[in-house]
Amino acid sequence: MTFTHLDAERRPAMVDVSGKTPTKRTATAEARVRFPPAVAAALRDSGLRSPKGPVFDTAIVAGVMGAKRTHELIPFCHPLGLENCRIAIELEGDTAVIRCTATVHHKTGVEMEALTGAGIAALTVYDMCKALSHDIVIGEMRLLAKEGGKSSYALEEAP
């Protein structure tokens, strides 16, 4: 097995992308936040507001901010100037489904940015709702699709 983030001396190292050609790269990730039924009902009844304010609107802003700062959080992620980052959140039953799509023209992909955006948005939903209950579960964070670069990927049930 070859480890991409180790140098010749087997020490941690960033992957050298200097010889790659920039291409358009897009990735979509998803995170899910499951609420107790009473909390989901309270969110619906309040227009998706908690005692802290507008839950999903705040999470969208936080998720975009997180995606843009991924390289500061994840070792060896290249700093990318995102050209687009969209976060959509829907309340499906007792679960907030968060989808983050990030796009860039660069030499490396944006999977980690999409995952970070979805994850930070999920954490923000938890923070905005913890006054209603601490029995909130963040789970099922996954990559749904990626395009560009050497390979593409899509889950069969991806949007």
| Distance, CA of 152 to CA of 145 (rounded, Å) | 7
Question: What length is written for the chain?
Answer: 159
* Active site members: 127
Most distant CA pair in the chain: distance in Å? 59
| Distance, CA of 21 to CA of 41 (rounded, Å) | 49
| Distance, CA of 101 to CA of 116 (rounded, Å) | 11
| Distance, CA of 63 to CA of 103 (rounded, Å) | 14
Going through the chain in order, the beta strands assigned E by DSSP cover 23-34, 49-50, 53-54, 84-92, 95-106, 137-147, 153-154
How many CB atoms are closer than 10 A to CB 153?
Answer: 13
